[in-house]
């Protein structure tokens, strides 16, 4: 693990998504990110299914390989901005389809997390396979836990501890297409995950209306380990949320108020 950067600079992209049009979305997000100068940010976060919107049609899923267009685009952004970048897309891997969150590091190395909790209310489980493992990655020495939308409702999956009862991540990222009609649970659950896991929470949700007539308010932002909003976007409006996370403040809070050490790790999911 590399030395921890004391202040991690984060950019959260709350924006519209063109329905089932990867080329249009990549062009759109290229333009949106144009104002982020190289070296300004350490981490850029895009919404769930940022190349298609929450479309369950598998015919528009990208075939997974290291040369796929969206991965090449993410690598070019990571290199240009000198930052890690993450966001989910729908992919075909072998004979199965996944809602897959890609993580691309500044050096171009990649990893991915497949959404564990599929949104059965909308029939997501009828089209996509569920992931089987959590993923914790590193950015400037920070440990980042990665999650997708509906995962937010299941605290055991997000539990921030290993089999020794120690925290495994410093910040949790939740990318989403979370409708405005349920914006209140979204905001409450994000704060709950931050408080119970003594971590920063980075939340990235889309705005606009999709072809299923679902309206999205965004309500994206960054929350500190005490459940306090560090930064929040104006609902329903596209926004680039820019803020910094303080590792010394996180470490000091965990040391002075070590609630994680009293957690019931033996009833959780064990190591990531």
Domain ranges of the chain: 8-261
The distance from CA 140 to its chain's CA centroid, rounded to whole angstroms, is 17
Identify whether 124 is a catalytic site residue: no
String of DSSP letters for 165-180: S----SEEEEEE---G
CB neighbour list of residue 225: distance below 8 Å, 6 or more residues apart: 194, 195, 197, 198, 199, 200, 250, 253, 254
> For position 269, what pLDDT does the model report?
58
The answer on pLDDT for 225 being more than 90 is yes
Task: Examine the pLDDT at 1 and tell me if it is beyond 90.
Answer: no
Q: Which residues pair with 271 in a beta bridge?
A: none
Q: Mean pLDDT lowest for which of 3-12, 212-221, 227-236, 263-272?
A: 263-272
Annotated active-site residue in 48, 81, 124, 140: 48
CATH, domain range 8-261: 3.60.110.10
Q: How far apart are CA 192 and CA 205, in angstroms?
A: 17
Residue 114 confidence (pLDDT) above 70: yes
Q: 132-171 burial, b if ≥16 CB within 10 A, otherwise e?
A: eebbbbbbbebbbbbbbbbbbeeeebbbbbbeeeebbbbb
In whole angstroms, what is the distance from residue 78 CA to residue 81 CA? 5
Collapsed DSSP state (helix, strand, coil) of residue 236? coil
- The pLDDT of 228-241, averaged and rounded, is 98
Q: Report the pLDDT value the prediction gives residue 271, as an integer from 0 to 100.
A: 42
Return the H-helix or E-strand segment holding 196.
Answer: helix 183-197
Q: Quote the pTM value.
A: 0.96
Predicted pLDDT at 264: 80
Let me know if 115 is a catalytic residue. yes
Q: State the average pLDDT for the chain.
A: 95
**pLDDT of amino acid 270:** 44
Q: Is 149 a catalytic residue?
A: yes
* Tokens read off for 259: 């609630």
- The answer, yes or no, to whether residue 163 has pLDDT greater than 90, is no
Q: Using the predicted structure, report yes or no on whether residue 266 has a pLDDT greater than 80.
A: no
Question: Is the pLDDT at 164 greater than 60, yes or no?
Answer: yes
- Which of 115, 139, 199, 204 is catalytic? The answer is 115
Q: Got the DSSP string for 64-131?
A: PSTT-HHHHHHHHHHHHHTSEEEEEEEEEETTEEEEEEEEE-TTS-EEEEE-SS--GGGTGGGTSPPP
Is 130 within 8 Å of 114 (Cβ atoms)?
yes
Beta-ladder partners of 97: 92
When pLDDT is cut at 50, 70 and 90, the band that residue 165 belongs to is confident
Q: Which backbone phi and psi does 156 adopt, to 5 degrees? A: -65, -40
Enumerate residues 6+ apart whose C-beta is below 8 A from 209: 215, 216
């Amino acid at each position: 693990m590399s030395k921890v950067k004391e202040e991690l600079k984060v950019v959260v992209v709350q924006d519209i998504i063109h329905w089932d049009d990867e080329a249009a979305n990549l062009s759109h997000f290229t333009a949106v990110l144009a104002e982020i100068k190289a070296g300004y940010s350490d981490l850029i976060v895009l919404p769930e299914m940022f190349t298609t919107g929450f479309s369950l049609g598998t015919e528009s899923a990208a075939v997974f390989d290291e040369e796929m267009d969206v991965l090449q685009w993410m690598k070019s952004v990571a290199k240009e901005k000198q930052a890690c970048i993450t966001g989910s897309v729908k992919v075909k891997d072998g004979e199965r389809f996944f809602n897959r969150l890609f993580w691309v590091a500044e050096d171009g190395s990649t990893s991915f997390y497949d959404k564990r909790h599929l949104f059965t209310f909308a029939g997501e489980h009828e089209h996509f396979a569920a992931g089987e493992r959590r993923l914790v990655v590193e950015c400037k020495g920070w440990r980042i836990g990665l999650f997708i939308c509906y995962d937010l409702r299941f605290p055991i999956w997000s539990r921030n501890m290993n089999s020794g009862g120690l925290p495994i991540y410093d910040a949790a990222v939740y990318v989403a297409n979370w409708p405005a009609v349920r914006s209140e649970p979204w905001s409450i659950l994000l704060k709950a995950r931050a408080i119970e896991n003594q971590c920063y929470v980075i939340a990235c949700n889309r705005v606009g209306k999709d072809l299923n007539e679902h309206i999205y308010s965004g309500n994206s932002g960054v929350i500190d380990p005490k459940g306090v909003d560090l930064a929040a976007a104006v609902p329903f409006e596209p926004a680039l949320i820019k803020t910094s996370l303080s590792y010394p403040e996180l470490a000091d809070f965990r040391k002075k108020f070590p609630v994680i050490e009293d957690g019931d790790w033996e009833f959780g999911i064990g190591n990531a």
